Structure 1
Amino acid sequence: MTDTSPSGPKKVCVIGWPVEHSRSPLIHNTWLARHHIEGEYTRLAVSPDELADTLRYLPTLGFRGANITVPHKEAAFEALTPFVDEPAARLEAVNTIYRDAHTGEMRGTNTDGAGFWTHLKQSVPGFNGKTAVVLGAGGAARAIVDVLENEAGMSVRLVNRTVARAADMVAALDLKATVYDWRHLPGALEGADLLVNTTSLGMTGEPPLEIDLAPLPATAVVYDIVYVPLETPLLAQARARGLKTVDGLGMLLWQAAPGFARWFGGEVDADDVAAARTLIEADLKKERS
């Protein structure tokens, strides 16, 4: 898939189904303005049966790249193979499409794990936990378990309502995580340094995530990748116990930074992230009012 997009303002999109909720345009258009770069970042709603064709003709549609969001990350990997880099190949999921500077071909990568890990280290300076509990076995869990094992060197306990799905994920990606049935969550939490929720439970419009955090040590960190609402019931419960909490908005922001650099040529720093975060927080408050 070679980039044949026209010259002129650089145009990128986020592809999902649905996609109206995505805050990615707010992030990237904020950074474009801050860096004085001429470009445009838009939403593109694409159904599952249209995804492969859309990706094939992405440059013809005028786009030099894209973000891929729910539910397309694994399907995008299948559609783009073999034009994927090492992170995407390892996770069998794509969240960012960019033009290869040498060949001109459109390639897929995955920045979710890096975004998660960058935000965790910034939110909890000096974090050096040994054991993590990850809830869920969807696309985000793939990237998070991978980075916790291979970057952080942590032992991971993967908890999911469907044990077979979690076990299949671990086997397919050659991970070392120990799989737990949801019924055994209290035992999995014992002695854990980090709890990460990668499910949609607790998101606005979804059922709450109802768990007892009592087995967690007082020094544990609780990270919820959900960011609508910004403080989920899980984080509120953890904060009430005096545990350190990390919300999901930082992961969204930091996973976006590598794509911005590749598409638009601007390097994102902490000030850029803070500026976009302020705008998204205001947007979330406006939505609730």
Structure 2
Amino acid sequence: MSMPFAEVIGDPIAQSKSPAIHRFWLEKLGIEADYRATRVTEDNLADYLAERQADPNWRGCNVTMPLKQAVQPYLASMEDPAASIGAVNTIYPAFDRVLAGTNTDAAGFLEPLTQRLRDTHLFRMARIIGAGGAARAIAHALAAQGFTLVLAARRTEQAEELIAQLPGTTEHHVVLLDHFAAPTDFAFDDRQGLLDLVVNASPLGMRGKDELAFDWSHAPPGAIAYDIVTDPLDTAFLQAARAAGHPTIDGLAMLIGQAAEAFRLFYGAPPPREHDAELRERLGA
């Protein structure tokens, strides 16, 4: 008899660390199940979902680039926050095995910022590189936390559309991707009581992709560099941030955080987060 399984889908997918994360937790909990990586393109997405929906052993899938918006027409329902974000990163068979979509990216992204977000700030600013599916989740999460956002994208119309859907009445801004590439002599004011982030929410810097051109003169002292790329884990973006004196958060923080929410849906149990340090060691091996 085949065992229950979940998986991650996207294109490309071979570099995904999600199978290692979920299998680590399954092993620790002694759950007889599997988690796989399956290459799925937009062209074969409909066939893939129909086949999996009919498989009683399939517990669901995580969705990565470039499918986070493409999957939506095939879902019977979209739960919040996926509905408000407009991007799905987790699909699971709900009652009668109809396909339901949700989004765990937002919660996963905020997890390593939890302590800082408990503090009160005079002002919160985030510069976000990218306007795709992951950026949508991140922008919504940060807007809900009272951040003023500057979105940098190759296609400004995509970023404008994203901003128009954000919650609240804060005025956000859009710039071209190369706005942050060249040095600036802008004089930042006193950073006391402020919280600043610079987030790479794009594939730039990923193995096989172009590097992200970001000059750290655009970031105020103390700004946190957060890169969601996981291959390589220590990106040139993060290395340059540390060299300029900025604290950093790597892509495993968000990846593990969002995977934890999905794991509960797929396998009906919370993952053993007390082993996070060991998991990071395994992923870095």
Shift of 1:225: 0.9
Q: 1:42 aligns with which of 28, 36, 39?
A: 36
In structure 1, the residue matched to 2:284 is 281
Contact map agreement 1:12 1:65 (CA 8 A) in 2: yes
Q: Unmatched 5+ residue regions in structure 2?
A: 190-194
In structure 2, the residue matched to 1:149 is 143
Paired with 2:185 and 2:129, the residues of 1 have a C-alpha distance of: 13
Contact map agreement 1:224 1:247 (CA 8 A) in 2: yes
Paired AA for residue 201 in structure 1: L
Shift of 1:269: 4.3
Structure-1-length-normalised TM-score: 0.85
Q: 2:225 aligns with which of 190, 198, 222?
A: 222
* More off after superposition, 178-187 vs 247-256: 178-187
How has the CA–CA distance of structure 1 residues 163 and 266 changed in structure 2, closer, same or farther, with 3 Å as cutoff?
same
Paired with 2:173 and 2:276, the residues of 1 have a C-alpha distance of: 34
Q: Does 1:116 align with 2:119?
A: no
**Identical counterparts, % of pairs:** 38
Q: Does 1:77 align with 2:80?
A: no
In structure 2, the residue matched to 1:86 is 80
Shift of 1:252: 0.7
Contact map agreement 1:254 1:273 (CA 8 A) in 2: no
In structure 2, the residue matched to 1:262 is 265
Q: Does 1:201 align with 2:204?
A: yes
Paired with 2:223 and 2:120, the residues of 1 have a C-alpha distance of: 10
Superposed CA RMSD: 2.6
How has the CA–CA distance of structure 1 residues 188 and 11 changed in structure 2, closer, same or farther, with 3 Å as cutoff?
farther
SS of 2:77's partner is coil
Contact map agreement 1:190 1:215 (CA 8 A) in 2: no
In structure 1, the residue matched to 2:163 is 170
Q: 2:238 aligns with which of 232, 235, 238?
A: 235
In structure 2, the residue matched to 1:179 is 174
How has the CA–CA distance of structure 1 residues 253 and 188 changed in structure 2, closer, same or farther, with 3 Å as cutoff?
farther
Contact map agreement 1:133 1:194 (CA 8 A) in 2: yes
Q: Does 1:99 align with 2:93?
A: yes
Paired AA for residue 252 in structure 2: L
Structure-2-length-normalised TM-score: 0.86
Paired with 2:127 and 2:35, the residues of 1 have a C-alpha distance of: 35
Q: Unmatched 5+ residue regions in structure 1?
A: 1-6, 283-289
